[in-house]
Amino acid sequence: MRVRKYSIYGGLLVICCAVLFACSKMNATYDEFTKDGEVVYIARVDSVITYPGNNRIDLSMLLISDPRISKVKVYWTAGGQTDSVEKAVQRTDNIDTVRFSFKKLAEASYTFNIYSYDKAGHRSVKNDVIGEVYGERYISQLVNRAIKSGTYIDATQSANIKWFGVAGDVIGQEIIYTDNLGTQRKFFAKNDAAVDSTLLPLYKKGSAFQFRTLYKPVLNAIDTFYSNYENRQVP
């Protein structure tokens, strides 16, 4: 019985030593990470929105909390290359908006990593967003909206252009034509799913017109993209 009791005590002693050793190791690790003082985190930016454009893109973000924020820094990566820009901010008592504009960018998909800082250099956790930059590759595949028919109406001296259906990223057609006084007019026909025709007033009978189609790849794009002009004749 004594041998068994000693064995139990010995086992408990080994366990206690192991626990003490593990705790010492954890404390050592914690001390290593906090040797320069307690880690301080700053609130990160909120509600990041990208606004794509033609070889450019804009970002907007909100500062909702943490009055200590004094700077926002953005890193962006595309094609294996990384760059960065920063902006000083002055907090108010309200929700503040910070905006960045990036110009002369190559057409690509970009990853933006965003950090906020205080005056002591403490940094927030990362807030990231992906944004698309459009360019010549996107423009090269744009086509004009297909015309179903073009008819001259003598009674109103106008031309009626009927269209086929259109994709959701089309916002309208730009039409250049000559009126019956010989004056060149530019007419914008807004895209409307419920309207499949455009009436050109005072159209010069027998003349031709030019048109091109306007695109926005997403609703909040900061640029409008255009297809090439196309010539058509109204009988």
pLDDT of 25 above 50: no
pLDDT bucket at 147, cuts 50 / 70 / 90: very high
**Cα(176)–Cα(208) distance, rounded to whole angstroms?**
9
71-120 residue pLDDT tens: 999 999 887 778 999 999 999 999 999 999 999 999 999 999 999 999 99
Q: Which of 44-48, 180-184, 190-194, 231-235 comes out lowest in average pLDDT?
A: 190-194
For every residue of 108-152, which 3-state class applies, written as one string? EEEEEEEEEECCCCCEECCEEEEEEEECHHHHHCCCCCCEEEEEE
145 with 173: CB under 8 angstroms? yes
**Cα(165)–Cα(81) distance, rounded to whole angstroms?**
41
Q: Tell me whether domains 46-138 and 143-233 share a fold.
A: yes
Q: Which CATH architecture has domain 143-233?
A: Sandwich (2.60)
pLDDT bucket at 40, cuts 50 / 70 / 90: confident
Q: Where are the domains of the chain?
A: 46-138, 143-233
CATH T-level fold of 46-138: Immunoglobulin-like (2.60.40)
Q: Letter for the amino acid at 115?
A: Y
Classify 54 as helix, strand or coil: strand
| Mean pLDDT along residues 187-208 | 91
